[in-house]
Amino acid sequence: MTTVNIPPFDATYQYQALAAEIEKNVCAVMSGGRYIMGPQVKEFEERFAQYLECEQVISCNSCTDALHLALRALKIGPGDEVITTPFSFIATTEAIGIVGATPVFVDVDLNTYNIDPNLIEEKITGRTKAILPVHLYGRPCNMTAIMAIARKYNLKVIEDCAQATGAMWSGKKVGTIGDVGCFSFFPTKNLGCVGDGGAIATSNPVIAERVEYLRRHGGKVKYQHDELGLNSRLDTVQAAVLLVKLPYVEQWNSARAAIANYYINQLAEIKNIILPQVVQEGKSVWNQFTIRVLEGQRDHVQKILKEKGVGTMVYYPIPLHLQHVHTNLGYSQGSLPSSEKLSHEVLSLPMFPELTVSSQKVVTEALIQAFSVFALT
């Protein structure tokens, strides 16, 4: 009997397909000796800016650092408030806290999993300096509404695009709509390297200049430091890998969309799940395909899928406002009900461009069988 093993994500397929070109680029870096800030870094920044259709990209160590640098570049710090979502990875608020600002949480829309624009204005105070929306699971936020609020109250907008490289809203790629876009190149992302990596995108030259020197210890001239910065540079090896992968991003995103469509069609008849919605005003890039499992059965269903060899993930089991690190903010159970509800229901199915139709079939059949066990179909 063949043992099924379908992981939530598998990065090895991309490496195998592009191994010769990746190894050639990496060897060129190694033989060239420019391991830090080599020419491949600048080339990648320029090509990624062209892809996004923005003026400038500044690469860095991670999306966490990108968020930190963006906040610093916008001069957000102690005493300031940043409105964001509680349904995200800790890096979102980690960056806010590190610069000394306070995250102010706005609940999410249950249909999109993203920050609900209708709830933002009531959280704006005289200390509010920015809105930090997260394009969760690759689905773009309603940037039309968010930008209208930002203009009304003279707020900055920092887009967290960690899971959304290539996603679009109203004809523009996310990360180019607000003042700054922050990207992750972690291996599981739509454009992933072979380690940590991130980038900041902006069309504002003042922001770009400030980010550029903050990532290099806060100095415009070597050994002359104007303020305390970071050591946050994208390794040249990672840039070399990303240069190989960047031309394939749209192809891979299309493959993800095809998988999402298959899942939607095959799972439409299961009563006790809610499927993610297709974006009408733009394009999701399906970093995750995340369903909602109702009636408190999520953990049971996940266990059955694991027994059948289908790997799944829960992003995220504890919303940020209930994390111990944010106890001082004063949020309690029930204060942000939609985010709390999602944390008990979300389940991300296997999703990567190379997932075969036969594997997709195994996933959907296993899920249907799992619900049959609980007589939930």
Q: Based on the domain organization, do 170 and 182 belong to the same domain?
A: yes
With tokens 């109203």, the residue in question is 170
Distance CA 59, CA 239 (A): 9
Q: Based on the domain organization, do 157 and 275 belong to the same domain?
A: no
Domain with residue 264: its CATH number is: 3.90.1150.10
Q: Give a yes or no: residue 217 inside a domain.
A: yes
Q: Based on the domain organization, do 46 and 103 belong to the same domain?
A: yes
Distance CA 247, CA 47 (A): 9
Q: Give a yes or no: residue 6 inside a domain.
A: no
Q: Based on the domain organization, do 207 and 89 belong to the same domain?
A: yes
Domain end marker among 225, 247, 269: 247
Domain end marker among 223, 247, 271: 247
Q: Based on the domain organization, do 226 and 88 belong to the same domain?
A: yes
Instruction: Tell me the C-alpha to C-alpha distance, in Å, between residue 64 and each of 99, 142, 167.
Output: 12, 22, 19
Q: Give a yes or no: residue 175 inside a domain.
A: yes
Q: Give a yes or no: residue 5 inside a domain.
A: no
Q: Give a yes or no: residue 295 inside a domain.
A: yes
Q: Give a yes or no: residue 305 inside a domain.
A: yes
- pLDDT tens column, 334-368: 999 999 999 999 999 999 999 999 999 999 999 99
CB atoms within 10 A of CB 329: 17
Q: Give a yes or no: residue 85 inside a domain.
A: yes
Distance CA 253, CA 246 (A): 11
pLDDT score for 375: 58
- Helix or strand holding residue 297 (H, E): none
Q: Is the pLDDT of residue 314 over 90?
A: yes
Q: Indicate the pLDDT class of residue 374, thresholds 50, 70 and 90.
A: low
Q: Based on the domain organization, do 237 and 263 belong to the same domain?
A: no
Q: Indicate the pLDDT class of residue 372, thresholds 50, 70 and 90.
A: confident
Q: Which residues touch 30 (CB under 8 Å, ≥6 apart)?
A: 237
pLDDT score for 2: 52
Q: Indicate the pLDDT class of residue 4, thresholds 50, 70 and 90.
A: confident
Q: Based on the domain organization, do 121 and 259 belong to the same domain?
A: no
Q: Based on the domain organization, do 34 and 180 belong to the same domain?
A: yes
Q: Give a yes or no: residue 1 inside a domain.
A: no
- Helix or strand holding residue 255 (H, E): helix 249-267
Main-chain dihedrals φ then ψ at residue 131, nearest 5 degrees: -115, 135
- pLDDT tens column, 203-255: 999 999 999 999 999 988 989 998 999 999 999 999 999 999 999 999 999 99
Domain end marker among 247, 275, 309: 247
Q: Indicate the pLDDT class of residue 377, thresholds 50, 70 and 90.
A: very low
Q: Which domain holds residue 363?
A: 249-373
Domains of the chain: total: 2
Q: Based on the domain organization, do 94 and 224 belong to the same domain?
A: yes
